[in-house]
Chain A
């Protein structure tokens, strides 16, 4: 079946512009995660959605970052007034329940964001 997809695969923007990144999780996966990976660094957790529960936004680095998800479908991560330090690969992952620690996460290919 189809895996997690993300779009665009690459995004180049100018400092100060807003960008919107999209994630299509695997059908039936109730949990969705966004991570960020700066060049040469490990992954940083950004935000977590589980069904219709309130999302965990504890990893968002500033109020310029926001994310939405409608039900158990598509999610969008929006970065307003982009800064050069926002340049990174943004990864989305999903899994079936997210209610215990034994469910593997399936990652998308990521969106590479470059802020000039």
Chain B
């Protein structure tokens, strides 16, 4: 499975934008880029995913580099409830266990009031 690399931690102030980077230099042409987050004491929740084009939804935006070797999750206005561990994942796209998620350590986002 393609590997992702994220910073261990990031900090932000409330109501400011947050840019969470992810490197995935071994990504293949069929790999989707998914982001999940895990709030304290909860199971992970899906945030957003994309393949080639930038994506927006009610939670966040995903900016994908032209060569697809990196991507950035953008929270436009961080709130205290956005404090969580953010995971950048490339779900298994073929063979057995289609869609299997391999979680790394993720980025711990701290939001200051």
A positions within 8 Å CB-CB of B: 31, 33, 35, 42-45, 48, 50, 56, 58, 91, 93, 95, 97-110
Query: B109 contacts the other chain (Cβ, under 8 Å)?
Result: no
Distance in Å: Cβ of B59 to nearest Cβ of chain A: 12
Asked if B31 contacts A101 (CB within 8 A), the reply is yes
Main secondary structure of the interface of B (DSSP, over half): loop
* Cross-chain contact B98 with A31 (CB below 8 angstroms): yes
Please name the residue on chain A nearest to B33 by beta carbon: A101
Task: Give the contact-size bracket for chain B.
Answer: 20 to 34
- Chain B residue nearest to A99 (CB atoms) is B98
Q: Decide if A50 touches B98 in the complex (CB within 8 Å).
A: yes
Q: Report chain B residues within 8 Å CB of A108.
A: 43
The answer on a CB contact under 8 Å between B101 and A100 is no
Q: Among the listed stretches B14-22, B61-69, B89-97, which one makes contact with chain A, having 4 or more residues with CB under 8 Å of it? A: B89-97
Residues of A within 8 A of B104 (CB): 42
